[in-house]
Structure 1
Amino acid sequence: MKHLTRNSVPFITAFLFCFLILGCEGNFRDVQKMGFAEFSPSGDADDIDLKYTDSGRITANLISPKMLDYSTVEYPFTEFPKGIHLTLYDKKGKETYINAKYAVSHKATNIIDLQDSVKISNQNGDMLETEQLYYDQKNEWFFTEKKFKFTSPKGVSYGEGIDFSKDFKKVNSQKISGEVQSE
């Protein structure tokens, strides 16, 4: 009887261990699915070309290879993980071009967070380059606290922190780290 009990202990221990692992695994997967489902996109689109209009006039054209819509989460947003090319049109038809390798549009605030090699330019030859730039869609205003390079027909300037209108007519820079240099 002692021989049978001594051999039974490892068997019973292994059986209980397997039972606990299998029982916990099922619950763990359910918990993972609950957390994952909360941030799963409710919409997914490839190769998009969206045109925004106001009173029959095109105000913006958004092109992106990938769009993920998270409109069902508590703070809805749209993500562009493969970047965007956005063209904004003013009332006179002048264009402002924006390129970024990544972007997130927050629906509640109407702010677009542009990241990674952000470039914004216009038809007058003005161009700003930075690593992150925010666009307030309601006020048509750009701003960043990051370092930037601003190129215009007058020359090049560098700084940190800037905000400006989409047509570059109103520009407020916080820290200019050098003089305007002609190229």
Structure 2
Amino acid sequence: MKVHFTYSHFFVAALLPGCFFIASCTNPDKEIQAMNSKQIGVEEAKDVAIDYSISGKTKAKLTEPYMLRHEESVPFIEFTKTVHTNFFDDTLGVESWLDARYARYMETESKIFLKDSVRLINRNGDTLYSDELYWDRSRTGHEFYTDKPVRIRTRTEILNGVGFESNMDFKNWSMKNLVNSEVRIPSTQFPQ
């Protein structure tokens, strides 16, 4: 039995596997768009936990479900989902905690800018509410500050003002301009 091979058979035999390679190398449009939308110089991380320590002692732990690190001329880290931070005493007991919907850490300045529903709470339940707050680790004793409106709610007071400073445990704080505030004094403390 004699088999005749023609050039057309050879051409079809070479073309058929080539078609499979071409067909298998296509990406759906959504995949291509997703690859093109990723920014160059941006690192992503999920379920992040960052410990902040001074002289080997843990002072704070920041947790965040999603983080972006931007490699620009001035690098910064963005926390674009709800950020939560616990601040610890020397025995690792929680002294205060902080929540915000957005944070930006400027690496070269050691400063964190927090915004959108910022809440700082201490062990006593005293609570600061603000739209913006800075956490500057280089300002010992006055790490938290803002020039924006704030509200502080304690067991006996509701204080509204503009401008605020506090240490990390939110025990020693001051408000710059007090406005429309309410102080509740128990009747037992009135003079007779």
| Offset of residue 167 of structure 1 | 2.3
Determine whether 1:74 maps to 2:73.
yes
Offset of residue 56 of structure 1: 4.5
Aligned equivalents of 2:171, 2:80: Cα separation in 1: 31
- Residue of structure 2 equivalent to 1:16: none
Which structure features the higher share of helix residues?
Answer: 1
Separation of aligned partners in 1, 2:134 and 2:56: 27
Aligned residue in 2 for 1:23: none
Q: Could you tell me how far 1:164 is from its partner in structure 2? A: 1.4
Q: Assess, with a 3 A threshold, how the Cα gap between structure 1 residues 56 and 162 changes in structure 2: closer, same or farther.
A: closer
Q: Deviations over 1:132-182 (max 9, x none)?
A: 000111235111111111012231111111111122333232211023333
TM-score normalised by L of structure 1: 0.71
Q: Contact 2:87–2:169 at 8 Å: present in 1 too?
A: no
User: Map of 1:1-183 to 2, 5 A cutoff?
Assistant: 37=40, 40-41=41-42, 43-70=43-70, 72-92=71-91, 93-140=93-140, 141-182=143-184
Equivalent pairs counted in the alignment come to 145
Whole-angstrom distance in 2 between the partners of 1:87 and 1:121? 10
**Deviation of the 1:62 alpha carbon:** 0.9
- Measured after TM superposition, the shift of residue 114 of structure 1 is 0.3
- Mapped to 1, the partners of 2:134 and 2:112 lie a distance apart of 6
Change over 3 Å in CA distance of 1:45–1:121 after alignment to 2: same
The amino acid of 1:164's aligned partner reads S
Deviations 1:54-84 (A, max 9, x none): 45432211110101112x3111111001120
- Normalised by the size of structure 2, how large is the TM-score? 0.68
Amino acid at match of 2:181: E
Aligned partners of 1:163, 1:52: CA distance in 2, in Å? Answer: 20
Gaps of 5+ in 1: 1-32
Amino acid at match of 1:91: D
Larger Rg: 2
Q: Following TM superposition, by how much is the alpha carbon of 1:90 offset from its aligned partner in structure 2, in angstroms?
A: 2.9
% same residue? 30
Amino acid corresponding to residue 123 of structure 2 in structure 1: Q
* Change in CA separation of 1:49 and 1:107 when aligned onto 2, cut-off 3 Å: same
Contact 2:105 2:113 survives alignment (8 Å) = yes
CA RMSD of aligned residues (A): 2.1
Q: Which amino acid aligns with 2:148?
A: K
